[in-house]
Chains A and B, each alone.
Chain A
């Protein structure tokens, strides 16, 4: 069973549009992190959001623990936002379980 599920699988945006990415968990977690990965690039941590709402620049994450879900909102998308967004949950020892990711393409 996929412990971390992400939707949509892919997304195409026009520059300046907003986007909402979803992540859900089959089992309880209180440690959620969002990552960004460019094709062939390293994973970069975007936001660590165990609960509630957290913002970093144009990114806002909302995690609702009791509903076992987290979302990532991208506002005013830019071409450089293109890439894959991965959601992950932590377990003991900082072990990460990742979702498959949402591939985002921002067009001019």
Chain B
């Protein structure tokens, strides 16, 4: 079974540039999460979806970050005008809604460096 796939693996930007991250969840998983993991810290939830609907985006810096999942499968996380403080690894995870917590799977992440 294919896992959660993310791309690109790495991104390096200058401040003010835009970047998009892409996530392909495990087939059939209806719930998708985006986490931000700064260096030497634990991941922090940014946003999550059930199918195409946003369930919680309260931790998403809405002025520069946006996330969509238009068909309830793949998802894109975009940063409009990156800042140095956005340097982190961005992790995508997927699961079945309402399932056991053991069914959550993570992708390898996209490591972003903003210069």
Contact = CB atoms under 8 A, between A and B. Distances in A.
Interface of A: 4, 31, 33, 40-45, 48, 86, 88, 90, 93-101
B108 A100 contact: no
A76 to B, nearest CB: 25
Contacts, number: 58
Given A94-B95, A100-B41, A48 B109 contact: no
A86 B43 CA distance: 9
B56 A94 contact: no
A43 B43 contact: yes
Given A40-B111, A100-B41, A94 B104 contact: yes
Given A43-B91, A48-B100, A93-B56, A98 B42 contact: yes
Q: How large is the interface on B (under 10, 10 to 19, 20 to 34, 35 or more residues)?
A: 20 to 34
25 contacts: A31-B101, A42-B107, A42-B108, A43-B43, A43-B106, A48-B100, A48-B101, A48-B102, A93-B48, A93-B55, A93-B97, A94-B99, A94-B101, A94-B104, A95-B33, A95-B48, A96-B35, A96-B43, A96-B45, A96-B104, A97-B45, A98-B44, A100-B42, A101-B41, A101-B42
Contacts of A48: 100-102
